[in-house]
Structures are given as structure tokens and as C-alpha cells.
Amino acid sequence: MSIGEMFDELKTKPPIILQRSELGRFSECPHQGHLCLKHEKEIETHDVLPETGTLIHELAKEAIKTCDMNLQEAADYFTEELPKIRPDLQPEALRAGKSLAREMRHFGSNRILLCEEPVTRSLLPATLSKGETLIVSELDLVLATTKADTILVLDYKTGYKDRTNQEAYDDFQTCVGCWVLFGKYPEVKTIHWWYLNTRISTRSYARIERERDEDNFGARIFETARLYLEGAEDAWPNPNKCSMCDVVKWCKYCNGELLDFIKDPKKYLDAYIALDARLGQMKETLDNAVKDGRTLYGTEVVYNDEPKRKPSRIPSLKNLEVKNKTEKSKEPLKKKAKKKKSKAVSEAK
């Protein structure tokens, strides 16, 4: 095969396209990513929060496109059309998107570069066995600034999570979004990334610098893509991650309280309320029993009428013996110290 034929064959290989959302699951936990691919059709997607978020994003895009990329006019359009959104989700949409129009007006003086558009950057070149690997990330809004080497990114979130600025910087979405933008705009050195939490009217901010962050972001994306392409199934369980996982009911590492909750959240909550009520009754019974100064003894705790009424641990006999021995061993030392002191005083006299 000639060099020319080799290059022609490379061009014919279809590219491997990796979406940021898919990679994000593997960056959190490869086992989660694997299960999402395996049970993609079985995952329940009819949830109020995601559906509401999708509708608000679609309306924001419609407003901006209709108003010829003018954010000030788009804010008015969005405010007028939001109450007309799908009737069953309208109350939730009004709560979730209440501050988006205000945010549009706040950033309205900036020129729009991208609106709800996918941005692509090559991660790995094509080989004889496979095509080029491309990373794709869709961005809500990318805005120009007065500086040619600086841009703004606005990503609106309609859920309840209030990210810290550190969480905004660490987020895999920030990582991928900025990395593909650095590829698209070679002249850009600084990206101001904003998460606009439209339901709770807060903002989360991260300042990204090409010189400091681009290589680190690229390495993180490369390692995540490797796990994805190799079909890794490593599990990195964590209570925060597992509680938000869409496929936890298929996870062999999930058990105990979290699994009971996933199986039936309503039943789990009812059981918690009943248990909490019984605990209150038990505490009231114990408090009444020690009002007269009594002390109740459990296997390893005591309960009495102290101000905080917290059960205190009973010291074991072994600990008491050690404590007594220590106190006895200190007595001769104290006597010796007194003798030395009296001797020193008499010599001084």
C-alpha cells in the first residue's frame, strides 16, 4: 500500500464521536457509564425536573433566535412566552426559569457567538484500524467581551443544586466545554464560565486560563475517553454520586439503605416518618423515667436527667484499673518531689 493509498484509507474511516454527557458518566464512575449504555432503553426519563429543564432550554433558544441574537429583546420574549409553556409543567417551569430573563438582561450587552450549538474538537487522530476520535459538547450561550482573548460562557441550570465556585471549576462539563472552545478559538486565553442557577437565583463562577488549564483538561478528557473506548467497568462508589445515579438499581455494588430507597422512595420516606415518630416517643418515655434523678444503665451507656440528656458511655473496668494504677504510681513521685523541694529549701537556709 502506497502512502497516498494509506491516507485515503484513513479518510474513509468513520469518526468516533464522544458526547460530553456520555463521557461525564465514565468520569464519575466507569461502572455507571457501562450500565447506562447497557440499560439505555430501560432508564426512566419521564421526570418533572429534566423535562422542565429541556422545555426552558428550548424556549430560551427560540427567544434568542427569534430576536436575532439580541439578549435584551430575547429576555422580554422569554418572559412573555414562559407562562404559555406546556400546561402540566407550567407551574414548575415558572419556578425553575424565574430568573433566566433577568440574567439575559444582565449579560445583554455582550455579543452572542454561539447559542445552543455543539462544538467539536479532535482528541485522537485516525489510525488504520479506527477513525478520528472527536469530542462534542453543546453549550447554552457563548458571548464575546471587549477583550479579543476573553469570552463568557453561560450555562443555565434549572434544578436545586447550588454549586460552589470550586465545584464549578471542578465540574467535568466545565472541563470539556472550555477544552473544545480553546480548540475552536485559538486566540482565546481566558474563559469566564458561569452556571446560572435559575430556580434558586444564584450564580457559580469559574475562571479558566488556557496556559494553566488546557493541558490538564485535555489529560482528564483523554483518560476518560480511554476508559470509555476500552469498556472499563471499574466502580468508584460514593454516597453523593450513588444517590444521584440513574442506574443504581442495576448496580451490584449498591445495597443496604440506598438500595431500599431506590426500590421504593415513597415507602422508604413513610418508614422514616414512622421511625422518627417512634424515636420521639421513646425519648419522651426515657426523659419521664429519669425526672426524679434516676439513672438508667444500658449495656454500654447510662441515661440520666442531665441538661443535654445524651447517653454517656460507661467506662470499662479495664480502663478504671489502668486509671487507678496510674494515679497510684504518681503518688510516690509527688512525695519524692516534695522531699526534694523541702531539702532544697533547708539547704538554702
Where in the chain are the domains?
A: 10-245
The cell numbers describing 51, all together, are 423535562
- Contact call for residues 36 and 25 (beta carbons, < 8 A): yes
pLDDT confidence of residue 255: 63
Residue type for position 259: L
pLDDT confidence of residue 57: 95
Low-confidence residues of the chain, pLDDT below 50?
A: 309, 316-323, 325-326, 345, 348-349
The cell numbers describing 317, all together, are 473496668
d(CA 202, CA 349): 78
Residue type for position 99: S
Looking at domain 10-245, its CATH class is alpha beta
The cell numbers describing 25, all together, are 458518566
pLDDT confidence of residue 37: 77
Helical segments of the chain, H only: 3-12, 20-28, 30-38, 48-66, 71-81, 90-96, 100-106, 165-170, 172-184, 210-229, 239-243, 256-263, 265-289, 317-348
Alpha carbon 128 to its chain centroid, in Å, reads 39
pLDDT confidence of residue 2: 58
pLDDT confidence of residue 317: 45
The CA distances from residue 175 to 90, 180, 254, 277, in Å, are 33, 9, 29, 46
Residue type for position 67: C
Maximum Cα interatomic distance, the chain, rounded to a whole number of Å: 110
pLDDT confidence of residue 320: 43
d(CA 328, CA 219): 63
pLDDT confidence of residue 337: 56
- Contact call for residues 314 and 300 (beta carbons, < 8 A): yes
Give, in degrees to the nearest 5, the angle at Cα 43 between 223 and 173. Answer: 35
